[in-house]
Structure 1
Amino acid sequence: MTRMTRLDSGLTVVSDEMEHVDSAALGVWVETGVRSEEEGEHGIAHFLEHMAFKGTATRSARSISEAIESVGGEINAATSVETTAYHARILAEDMPLALGILADILTEPAFAPEEVERERNVILQEIGSAEDVPEDRAFDALPEAAFRDQAVGRRILGTRDSVGAVSAEGLRRFFARHYTAGAMTVAAAGKVEHERLVEEVAAAFARVPAGAIPELANARYTGGILADTDDTAECQWILGFEGRAARHDDAIAAHLAAMSMGGGLSSRLFQALREERGLVYDTSAFHWAFADAGVFAVHLATSPDAVEEAVAVVLDELEDAIGTLTEEELARARAQMKAGILMSRESCSARMSQAARQAIVFGRPVPKEERIAEIERVSADDVKRILADVTRSTPTMVAVGPMDAPSADAVVRRFGRTAEPTL
């Protein structure tokens, strides 16, 4: 059973009890990410995530890691477009220890200037590592091209210049503005008792200031073209369109549309591009859903001499699916999506993450039966309608590797929208 309680401070506590396990996953989701950054703050949300583990008023960085590892636990964090998550995996008996550490790093981080400088170097190395991987460069560029000149489209890691400008004082200001009770959700899954968890969270996070989530500008899908044609051994190409927001009535249909097109080895794109023609070594279709916007996209990785033909096949398959996608194809996509939901329920960490996301996005736990029923209600006609609708939006195109600069003309001719300028 998943249960949720909202404290008087505005902080949300959600738990998913699993009686058959001896462990637990515990995390704190803060509704702030790269999208929350103001002008001049690019990369600061991710920088702050790194700094959370670099010491507090009462714990050094070393004591944090030693405390959790002394009981065989793990602790980590991640920054995304809209949230930053701090989470631990421990034995159930060590929940109070993990909660105390998470509360400490999220209420009294030290932001010591010498630690800021050390971590700056680590993040610059992380940026360099991402730059060395063509696929990472392509996926980092996708939101930048799809949401031009908006915070929601910024690269999560920041740039070398923006990371170089982050200061301890800037981190403190960002922390004070965004790390408030109303922006926090504590989620736990595994061997956990909800009432006890609520009491312990209320005590541990009593110092968190009350406050609502700062209002953000609405995301506006623009489409656009971004080409990075450096000489690499491979080519990465992504074609995107306007998708659906997480709470949109068609969000599930958009996910199923992506899975039907490129969600597995039996999907249209994998069969047409790799199995039948040998044009790519990897391809997929996916749908990213944010709070108020989304992106539907197709990705392929191939060699320079195969790009042109592979792109033509993608357009052919998208256009064909609008009219001919079958109930059998949708049934496979449904089965994949349902299996993903049900299999993930065997993992404490997955159930913790699901509970947190549901609390943030929908304001309540969503039973698995309800999610399965939503999937079952989507018809092949719904998926074809979604494919027809999204492909009429302004295209987004990202190219990384030694290929001609991409043109949206072929996409526009097929699906009927004006191309946006190259970034």
Structure 2
Amino acid sequence: MTRVAHLPATEQPLGTTRTLLTERGDAGSDGAPGPVASRVRRTVLPGGLRIITETMPGARSAALGLWTGVGSRDESRSLGGATHFLEHVLFKGTSRRSALDISAELAAVGGELNAFTGKEFTCYHAHVLASDVPVAVDVLCDMVTSSRVPTHEVESERNVILEEIAMHDDDPDDVVHDAFVAALFGESPLGRAITGSVDSINALTRRQIWGYYRRRYTADNLVFAAAGAVDHTRVVRLVRSAFEIADALGDPTRRPSPLRGAPATAKTISATTRIERSTELVSFVLGTPSFSRGDPRRYALGVLNNVIGGGTSSRLFQEVRERRGLAYTIYSFATQYVGAGYFAVAGGCMPSKVDDVLGICSDELAKVASTGVTLEELERGKGQLRGSLVMGLEDAGARMIRIGKSELVPGGLLSIDESLTHIDAVTLDEVHEVAQLVLTSDPSLAVLGPAKALAKLG
């Protein structure tokens, strides 16, 4: 097993570095600025590799992530599931490490190593003690830049992914959410499952996966993000050394890939999907097109979401569950992509009650679109947004995800104070305007349950 205590520092220039933002704690009683709570710095290396860090004084561990700006929406139909498949395979060995080495090296120091695939990016991430940052940097960079994509591991992981798809297919909530997205986005790659289908996974070859890897995992399309107990200059030296060892810095004249672009409005459709299953409950998702990433109206939409179904005090929770006892689960949510987004209500209930629950949801959405929300609801919704924002960024992992994503999708990196200012500025009129725009569109609906219950739906 390869054990790296540190990587040699390079004598070459580190690249172009700048401080993006500085977060401060609360001001003192004399009005003086509070102490620095965190500082975000960014370096671009020759070849376009971006390194972004957020130093958090007092932290004793670090969250690290190596991101690539490729997700399942980038796949052609013949490559369905390739992004997620590749994520699995990159854990299976490099020229320097076996699959066991990759998993054991961080486990030996109490660290964690994992990855996730989204529709617009993929992230390989680790969480380690501050003293083990060099080990984690080397493991992440090695597996992402130097995978061998061995044929026998491709076949092994094919079976694992087919098991994952089968497990996913056994969960009614997962199935109905995928069906809703497919109903909303139709043939668009956004409408397809991140895992791919059984047919597409069986059809993928090692050659296709290798070619996808070599095309997409280039330095100009990669971002290394780190948050917590990290020193920016040290992280830059470690990452640069690891990429030099792998000869992965690429053409030094290349700049970072531009932020993901998309049509101003991705095509959506209005459709209803019924999925027959012998389940005890009916699961459903009802929703409409909404705003894309970076849209300034996202703050008003966040408030609206909280009012409609964002917690136990929301309208739908109170009406459907508390007053009428029609369902145990009822909530709303908003999702944004580049050039597309949606707002939806989801829940589950007994088959005999699905008509009533869907009717209440439709009526409540129409009511909010017509009359807006109350001042009390506005303030409560804003308070929920403020709390979830601040508490959600208490740990280094959440900070790493925030800064990493900011390099790959529109919206920019805002300080917590800037985000709180945007939330505080949301007005009743803005929420009403957003409700009228979003809630009056023709909805898409996905419903899963027994045939008898589905037959009764209009």
Partner of 2:428: 380
Q: CA deviation at 1:162?
A: 0.6
> Which shifted more, 306-315 or 199-208?
199-208
Q: Is the 8 A contact 1:399 1:405 kept in 2?
A: no
* Partner residue of 1:226 out of 264, 273, 280: 273
Query: 1: CA distance between counterparts of 2:411 and 2:235?
Result: 19
Opposite residue 171 of structure 1, the aligned amino acid is I
CA distance in 2, matches of 1:346, 1:383: 28
| Contact 2:112–2:126 (Cα < 8 Å) also in 1 | yes
Tell me the amino acid that sits aligned with residue 80 of structure 2. H
Match of 1:238 among 282, 285, 299: 285
Q: Give how far 1:120 is off.
A: 0.8
* 8 Å Cα contact 1:34-1:80 kept in structure 2: yes
Cα separation, partners in 2 of 1:213 and 1:231, compared to 1, 3 Å: farther
Alpha-carbon distance change, 283 to 40 in structure 1, aligned in 2, over 3 angstroms: same
Q: Which has the greater radius of gyration?
A: 2
Q: Matches of residues 18-417 of structure 1 in structure 2 within 5 Å?
A: 18-206=56-244, 207-209=248-250, 212=257, 218=263, 219-322=266-369, 323-362=371-410, 364-402=412-450, 403-404=453-454
List structure 1 runs of 4+ shifted beyond 4 angstroms.
Answer: 213-217
Deviation larger for 79-88 or 224-233? 224-233
Task: Specify the code of the residue in structure 1 equivalent to 2:219.
Answer: A
Query: Which segments of 5 or more consecutive residues in structure 1 lack a partner in the other structure?
Result: 410-423
Which shows bigger deviation, 7-16 or 89-98?
7-16
Q: Percent identity?
A: 36
Q: Which secondary structure does the structure 1 equivalent of 2:234 belong to? A: helix
TM-score normalized with structure 2 length: 0.86
Deviation (angstroms), 1:291: 1.2
Q: How many Å separate the matches in 1 of 2:431 and 2:234?
A: 44
- In structure 2, relative to structure 1, the CA distance for the partners of 1:110 and 1:213 (3 Å cut) is farther
Aligned equivalents of 1:223, 1:339: Cα separation in 2: 34
Per-residue Cα deviation, 1:240-274 (whole angstroms, up to 9, x for no partner): 10110111121222222112111100000100100
Instruction: Map Cα deviations across residues 3-40 of structure 1 (whole Å, 9 max, x no partner).
Output: 22222322221111111111000001111111011130
Cα displacement (A) at 1:144: 1.2
The 8 Å contact of residues 4 and 365 in structure 1, kept in 2 or not, is answered as: no
Unaligned runs of 5+ in 2: 1-38
- The count of residues paired between Structure 1 and Structure 2 equals 408
What is the TM-score with the length of structure 1 in the denominator?
A: 0.92
Matches of 1:47 and 1:59 in 2, distance apart?
20
- Measure how far apart 1:363 and its partner are: 6.9
RMSD: 1.8
Partner of 1:4: 42
